[in-house]
A = this chain, B = another copy of it.
Amino acid sequence: MKIAVLGTGGGARSHIAKLLELGHEVAVGTRDPQATLARTEPDMMGNPPFRQFLAEHPGVTLLTFGEAAATADGPVINGIDGHNAVAALTPIAGALADKTLIDYAVPFVYQHDSEHPWPTPWGVMPKLDPCDTDSLGERIQRALPDTKVVKSFVTQEQATVVDPQSVGDGDHTMFVAGDHADAKRRATELLKSYGWRDVLDLGPLVCARGMEMYAHLHSAIGFGLGQQFGGHFGIKVVR
């Protein structure tokens, strides 16, 4: 399939590498491809410059957000950080029309000071906006009414989303939520190709609230396990 990944951060890179490994054609979207290629320093999260990642992953096409989305005949994965996602996606609504957009962003509020490095230090609870009575997933769906938004991948680090076997032999649970059954089916098929055996459909997109708000408990569990930024664990729904 032709799959588009929007974003060049660590989570996006996990998906790009895995999708290539699975034999898909991958177009990566960024705000300004020339600026992305020009960077020579690690990004805010310490990832190496993206051009180094591209050199190590031949076959990836780097385009603008809209151009990358337009190439997709399979799902588009939104790896744009939660703070910027609605603003970045709204102008490319046309390119995303009728497509399945899988969104894993958590709407962390940026706190750019020494006590609160970006986006939140591990063990200190993030602040979320929206929260409780709305979710980023629902906001994106409202901004893109012709797109089929699926909220998924949210409850784990993307490195374990693309490699579920690396935690507890893969015996844990991934969630999907959305208002379009065919899009959820597509997201579930992608997850199964990643190796997921237990994908639970929570129902309508309103359930994105629970997935995003779980970020607090996820942070706390990582803290409790003594894991620093980038926890390596999953949760299994035992029933």
B203 A238 Cβ-Cβ under 8 A: no
B239 touches A233 (CB 8 A): yes
Q: Enumerate chain B residues within 8 angstroms of A214, measured Cβ to Cβ.
A: 210, 213-214, 216-217
Interface residues of chain A: helix, strand, loop or mixed (majority):
mixed
Q: A132 to chain B: closest CB distance in Å?
A: 5
Contacts of A216 in B (CB 8 A): 132, 207, 209-210, 213-214
Closest to A172 in B: B238
Contacts of A167 in B (CB 8 A): 238-239
Question: Which of chain B's residues have a CB closer than 8 A to the CB of A237?
Answer: 221, 225, 233-235
Please encode chain A, from 142 to 163, with 1 for each CB lying within 8 Å of some chain B CB and 0 for all others. 0000000000000100000000
Q: Quick one: which of B123, B128, B168, B207 contacts A238, CB cutoff 8 A?
A: B168
For this chain, the copies found in one complex come to: 2
How far is B131's CA from A238's CA once the two chains are assembled, in angstroms? 26
Contact between B123 and A133 (Cβ–Cβ < 8 Å)?
Answer: no
Is A196 on the interface with B (CB-CB < 8 A)? no
Interface residues of A (CB under 8 A from B): 123-125, 127-128, 131-133, 155, 167-168, 171-172, 175, 177, 200-203, 206-207, 209-211, 213-214, 216-221, 223-225, 232-239
Extra 12 A-B pairs, beta carbons < 8 Å, given A168-B239, A234-B238 = A167-B239, A175-B220, A175-B221, A201-B224, A202-B220, A203-B220, A207-B220, A210-B218, A211-B217, A211-B220, A235-B236, A236-B236
